[in-house]
């Protein structure tokens, strides 16, 4: 599980006393278990290449156990180098697919939780880990010193960097869904841990884009030139992303404790986006002159206020769902809206009280506009196969059983 451990550390530190803080949620972090490929590949692959595969994999395992979150870029570099070697093991020509049993463990308690003899499973695990490391890095951009401050960073550069990292993580997860998971046979898919299954991968991929849009809205709120239409569009897009992510995750069977925390995070962000969307939609609707538009605007403001209250409860529920985490103090759009929504709802309700009294049905909430989702994942492409696979020419030995007659002939 990433959110309780990885916010401060890539690896697990059981003496960690601080309650970690979450702005960008990391649903899970699992790491490779130290292993050697010698027994599985001896006589089939040159020893030097086996040693490189083993060395890179064990280096990743070591880095994740001994370094803090600032080393996430170093872990990512090691994963990328290992990936180019790993691609060679997926080559059908060499028939290595089921020769090696790959072992991985969760960081939450350090236990080995899965072992699978399939090179595409290893590929899935590596690219998924790259996505989780990138989400962790995005979180660290917004809360750079979590041991000292509960404030988030709101500089344009850090928010921009966080958006770049979020769309990069989404690209890794999209690749897992489209290119890797489809290669894994059904009997192995059934053995996968929950966080590597299709619905959870898709929810996490969409969540990353939703949080990227949340960062864009934060930048728009702090920009004097950003129009109400831009802010409303971003809030509505954020709402759409989190609505889709919530649907994907809620349809997943057998969500474990961490899965429930993941779901509670998405619900919290969904409600924040919905409150923002109704607030900005109300401001735009209120610009009209017809009494009906003013009534609709008040309905939006009152709805935004009610949803805002629900979102604060959802935030508390997320923080208290095991493992316990902290949410940063309100920042970005919500720092502004926590104050403006109640103020505007009270002011406009009083201003148009006479219209509200005349209106018989206030139970129909105006529909929010729908927009094409604009934030897209960065396209990730599998690296080229390491040159060592091309430079070395070897054949897989074909062993046959000898008959008694053949032995006698000797």
Q: What are phi and psi of 115, to 5 degrees?
A: -145, 120
Question: Mean pLDDT, to the nearest integer, of 223-234?
Answer: 95
Strand order in the sheet with 112-116: 30-32, 102-106, 112-116
Residue 81: both structure tokens together: 């180098």
Query: Do the beta carbons of residue 367 and residue 274 sit within 8 Å?
Result: no
Query: Do the beta carbons of residue 164 and residue 24 sit within 8 Å?
Result: no
- Per-residue pLDDT at 366 exceeds 50: yes
Per-domain residue ranges of the chain: 30-391
> What is the CATH topology of the domain spanning 30-391?
1.25.40
For the stretch 134-184, pLDDT in tens is 999 999 888 866 544 555 666 778 899 999 999 999 999 999 999 999 999
Q: What CA–CA distance (Å, rounded) separates 244 from 256?
A: 20
Helix 332-351 / helix 291-320 crossing angle, nearest 10 deg: 140
The helix or strand, by DSSP H or E, that contains position 112, with its residue range, turns out to be strand 112-116
Q: Which residues partner with 114 through β-bridges?
A: 104
For the stretch 338-348, pLDDT in tens is 999 999 999 99
Residue 59: both structure tokens together: 């280096």
Q: Which residues partner with 106 through β-bridges?
A: 30
- Per-residue pLDDT at 400 exceeds 90: no
**Nearest Cα to Cα of residue 299 among 232, 368, 231:** 368
Q: What is the DSSP letter of 180?
A: I
Residues in contact with 244: Cβ distance below 8 Å, sequence separation at least 6, in sequence order: 206
Q: Would you call 65 exposed, middle or buried from its count of C-beta atoms within 10 A (0-12, 13-18, 19+)?
A: middle
- Per-residue pLDDT at 214 exceeds 50: yes
Query: Do the beta carbons of residue 121 and residue 63 sit within 8 Å?
Result: no
Helix 257-285 / helix 228-250 crossing angle, nearest 10 deg: 150
Q: What CA–CA distance (Å, rounded) separates 108 from 9?
A: 11
Higher-confidence residue: 10 or 101?
Answer: 101
For the stretch 241-294, pLDDT in tens is 999 999 999 988 777 778 899 999 999 999 999 999 999 999 999 998 888 888
SS3 category, 151: coil
């Amino acid at each position: 599980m990433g959110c309780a451990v990885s916010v401060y550390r890539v690896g697990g530190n059981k003496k960690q006393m601080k309650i970690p803080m979450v702005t960008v949620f990391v649903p899970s972090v699992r790491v490779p278990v130290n292993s050697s490929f010698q027994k599985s590949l001896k006589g089939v692959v040159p020893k030097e290449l086996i040693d490189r595969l083993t060395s890179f994999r064990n280096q990743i395992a070591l880095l994740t156990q001994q370094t803090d979150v600032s080393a996430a870029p170093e872990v990512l570099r090691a994963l990328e180098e290992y990936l180019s070697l790993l691609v060679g093991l997926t080559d059908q020509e060499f028939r290595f697919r089921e020769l090696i049993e790959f072992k991985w463990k969760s960081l939450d308690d350090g236990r080995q939780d899965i072992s699978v003899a399939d090179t595409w499973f290893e590929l899935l695990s590596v690219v998924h880990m790259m996505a989780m490391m990138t989400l962790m890095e995005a979180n660290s951009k917004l809360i750079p010193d979590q041991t000292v401050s509960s404030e988030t960073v709101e500089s344009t550069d850090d928010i921009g960097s966080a958006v770049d990292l979020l769309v990069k993580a989404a690209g890794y997860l999209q690749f897992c869904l489209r290119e890797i998971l489809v290669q894994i046979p059904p009997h192995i898919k059934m053995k996968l841990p929950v966080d590597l299954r299709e619905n959870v991968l898709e929810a996490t991929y969409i969540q990353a884009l939703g949080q990227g849009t949340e960062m864009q809205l934060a930048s728009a709120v702090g920009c004097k030139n950003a129009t109400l239409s831009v802010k409303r569009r971003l809030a509505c897009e954020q709402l759409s992303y989190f609505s889709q992510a919530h649907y994907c995750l809620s349809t997943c069977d057998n969500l474990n404790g961490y899965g429930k925390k993941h779901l509670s995070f998405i619900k919290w962000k969904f409600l924040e986006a919905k409150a923002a969307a109704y607030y900005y939609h109300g401001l735009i609707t209120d610009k009209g002159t017809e009494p009906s538009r003013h009534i609709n605007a008040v309905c939006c403001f009152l709805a935004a206020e009610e949803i805002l209250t629900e979102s604060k409860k959802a935030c508390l529920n997320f923080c208290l769902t095991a493992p316990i985490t902290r949410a940063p103090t309100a920042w970005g759009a919500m720092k502004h809206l926590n104050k403006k929504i109640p103020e505007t709802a009270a002011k406009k309700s009083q201003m148009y009280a006479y219209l509200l009294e005349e209106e018989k049905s206030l139970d129909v909430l105006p529909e929010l506009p729908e927009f094409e989702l604009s934030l897209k994942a960065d396209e990730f492409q599998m690296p080229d196969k390491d040159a060592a696979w091309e430079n070395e020419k070897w054949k897989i030995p074909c062993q046959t059983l000898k008959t008694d007659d053949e032995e006698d002939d000797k």
